[in-house]
Structure 1
Amino acid sequence: MDETTAQAVASCAAAAKQAAPALAGATDEAVDAALGEMAARLSAARAAVLAANAEDVAAAEAGGMSAGLLDRLRITEERLLAMAEQLRLLAGAPHPARSVQLGTLPGGLRLVERRRPVGVIGANYEARPNVTVDVASQLVKSRNAGVLRTGSAALRSATVLVREVVAPALADVAIDPDVIQLVPSADRAAAAALVTLPHLVPLVILRGSGESTRELGQLAARHGVRTLAHADGGGVLYVDVAADPERTRDLVERGLDRLGVCNRLNLLLIHADRYDAVLPAILDTLRELGVRPSLPPHDHAVGYEWALDAEREATVTIAPVTGVADAARVANEETSGLAATIVTEDPAAAEEFLAGYTGTGVFWNASTRLLDGFKLLGVPETGINIDKVPGPRGPVTYPDLCLRQYAVLPG
């Protein structure tokens, strides 16, 4: 690992840790005021943000970045306004109680559960400049300092967002702006360095392509750093024998409004008894959307995630299944377990699918595109966790970024 890069990351982590108490001890009012200032400054710095982002997009286009990744990278006027609105909504969201009375113990002692910040949380993400604001705001709301690392594609945009929006907003309310650090290096080695500092950054949020994120997760584990990883995605749509054709068409269209996102339609399963009847209409819809079907026999895994394939992201896998149980089995065993939808007018079939699918989000006559922190919970997310262990699962938001502490106190 390059020593200069490693030192840059370590310096950011040390600065964040030193500043962390300023945020941990801040009042609810100060935290919410900081978020409100971020929203105001995002609007005031609009020209600088859009200009930096235009440079990032131009460089990415010259480098041959795919259309889906370019869509993730680009900040439009509309998206900038949405980012500001999300900050305002987050500022108004309730703070979880810091202390909850659980009961009493023998001797008249009181048992209290307390919520404490982690301290410093890292975040590694690629060509998504809006994630800079999403993660920074979630960390501030949860009173955690942070070290953010993004790749070369979005570094200009991220730098302006931290310098012109996040840092001055914190300073405005007398919170040390050093609590949010942006690693100034685009070197990939910075991501590796970030997950090897357990005493400075004990938890790192990982977002990005499946393989690189898994590798970082393994490296983190070897160094005693915990991760919340969002490596794999891909939404599943099961068309039941009792599916309404118009509703099916609508869900296919909704699932493919953006191709470079994790919760888009990736695998379309069709009941074998209806396969030949409904397939032509589905193929027509895909053709109108400019999306290519991958039909049996497949030369790839059924759950292959097309959003991560820069050459073939405008693709949906289609496969027949024998019924509801088979659809749930395929979604459970052959995909990442992010999200799955059943389209049907039969409540019994829907209930069977809801009970059988074990993934992070399950939907009936609704698009997997709804599996998103803001769409479901009204606040931005740091990522979507699909781990099969206790802890935050699904969209991870500010109430999840805490440690539980038991306190035993005199009665």
Structure 2
Amino acid sequence: MTVLDTTVMDAVAACAVAAKKAAPALAAAPDEAVDAALGEMAARLSSARQTVLQANAEDVEAAQRDGMSSGLLDRLRITEQRLVDMAEQLRLLAAAPHPVRETELGELPGGLRLLERRRPVGVIGANYEARPNVTVDVASQLVKSRNAGVLRTGSAALRSATVLTDAVIAPALSDVDIDPDAIQLVPSADRAAAGALVQLPHLVPLVILRGSGDSTRELGRLAAQHGVRTLAHADGGGVLYLDADADLDLARDLVARGLDRLGVCNRLNLLLIHRNVYDSALPGILDTLRSLDIRPSLPPHDHALGYEWALDADRESTVTIAPVDDLTHAARTANEETSGLAATIVTANPQAADAFMAAYTGTGVFWNTTTRLLDGFKLLGVPETGINIDKVPGPRGPVTYPDLCLRQYAVVPRP
């Protein structure tokens, strides 16, 4: 290990130690204090608006000099309206119900009762790239679930994330007598900090990973080697299937709605068209893509069918188009060739919709609407920490505060 790596590891470990020390007090905080803290964060997004926007403008300017793509710049940028939206999401989260902490499951022999309790994890880490709003999203979810946190973002968003932590999150916690050390932001932009975060199982046993596929998968492997569990959001890419009975005007509208932002995981990535309507539907689809300045990738393809364009800074304004034999072929393609994030069918045939939705095994499936709806706030009314597409028991899809807990069985005497 180099001297630099040691320095980075020490910085991450110091954040983890501080968060772990503050975790018990946050876990014991009353509901009213937790919700008040979220309300204070919303208020401080307004009062610290100019400071946040200035820091973000500096991040964006630096990223533009470095040649960041337009889609990634869109994710990095905080606007006045986005600040308003962030504050509204915090207020809605504050008003959302707290999960029941204890549920009685039944009775056991010998005069005993069986209870199921929900407990915070303790300290949860989060690694994410150039999306400063995620700093608030994740921090607020952790506070609502009563987990302390260690957040790490890349150099592109570090100024914005630092201001959001120092001017919004920490003082909001202090205002309601919750230890502000409960939410830590790693002060280093060094990429080694991400690796350090997943090597501290006794301090940070669970880490949320968001980012590009390859780097996130590598962090997941490193975490496994060190006994750290992860909720990974490595891959995305929405699939839209035009059935033989599709309304073509609706299909064109959904194509446009699925491409309103290019740097997000749930955007339209792969467009599958039933072979019987491929020739008739394609010209209108191409017109729609042309109006959006999106390049179609048509057969024969020189890339994997499910290649995720959002992660390709040079070619993110691209959608893959391919014909399929029928809805079974479409579902199989979505299952086997893509990440399994989300797919939608466009059809006027309810039986076809039911069959496609039964055959697709991914995280979100939709009928006559866009995969852009696969989002914690749009589906559940609260921000998400990420979208988990793992095929294992546990939280799947948008991960929100009720998911960030551990189940504990308790056996107690009957009164």
TM-score, normalised relative to structure 1: 1.00
Which digits, 9 at most, give the CA deviation of each residue in 1:110-152, with x for residues without a partner? 0000000000000000000000000000000000000000000
Please show how residues 217-232 of structure 1 align to structure 2 within 5 Å.
217-232=220-235
In the aligned structure 2, how far is the partner of 1:245 from the partner of 1:18? 58
Q: CA deviation at 1:245?
A: 1.1
**Matching residue's letter, 2:295:** R
Which digits, 9 at most, give the CA deviation of each residue in 1:334-367, with x for residues without a partner? 0000000000000111011010000000000010
Matching of residue 323 in structure 1 with residue 326 in structure 2: yes
Which residue in the other structure is 1:46 paired with? 49
Of residues 241, 259, 262, the one that matches 2:262 is 259
Of residues 57, 69, 88, the one that matches 2:91 is 88
Matching of residue 104 in structure 1 with residue 103 in structure 2: no
SS in 1 for 2:68: coil
Matching of residue 381 in structure 1 with residue 384 in structure 2: yes
In the aligned structure 2, how far is the partner of 1:144 from the partner of 1:241? 49
Which residue in the other structure is 2:29 paired with? 26
**Matching residue's letter, 1:175:** I
**Matching residue's letter, 2:258:** G
Of residues 154, 157, 174, the one that matches 1:154 is 157
Matching of residue 198 in structure 1 with residue 201 in structure 2: yes
Which residue in the other structure is 2:335 paired with? 332
Matching of residue 174 in structure 1 with residue 174 in structure 2: no
SS in 2 for 1:260: coil
Which digits, 9 at most, give the CA deviation of each residue in 1:58-113, with x for residues without a partner? 00000000000000000000000000000000000000010000000001100000
Task: Give the root-mean-square deviation of aligned CA atoms.
Answer: 0.4
SS in 2 for 1:33: helix
**Matching residue's letter, 1:149:** R
Matching of residue 244 in structure 1 with residue 229 in structure 2: no
Which residue in the other structure is 2:369 paired with? 366
- Uncovered stretches (5+) of structure 1, i.e. residues with no partner: none
SS in 1 for 2:190: coil
Of residues 111, 127, 130, the one that matches 2:130 is 127
SS in 1 for 2:344: strand
Of residues 285, 291, 295, the one that matches 1:292 is 295
In the aligned structure 2, how far is the partner of 1:89 from the partner of 1:18? 29
- Uncovered stretches (5+) of structure 2, i.e. residues with no partner: none
In the aligned structure 1, how far is the partner of 2:278 from the partner of 2:369? 21
Identity of aligned residues (%): 81
SS in 1 for 2:245: coil
Matching of residue 352 in structure 1 with residue 362 in structure 2: no
In the aligned structure 2, how far is the partner of 1:100 from the partner of 1:198? 29
Q: CA deviation at 1:409?
A: 0.2
SS in 2 for 1:274: helix
SS in 1 for 2:276: coil
In the aligned structure 2, how far is the partner of 1:191 from the partner of 1:244? 46
**Matching residue's letter, 2:58:** E
**Matching residue's letter, 1:189:** A
Matching of residue 343 in structure 1 with residue 336 in structure 2: no
**Matching residue's letter, 2:309:** W
TM-score, normalised relative to structure 2: 0.99
Which residue in the other structure is 2:282 paired with? 279
Which residue in the other structure is 2:308 paired with? 305
**Matching residue's letter, 1:124:** N
Detail structure 1 runs of 4+ shifted over 3 Å in the superposition. none
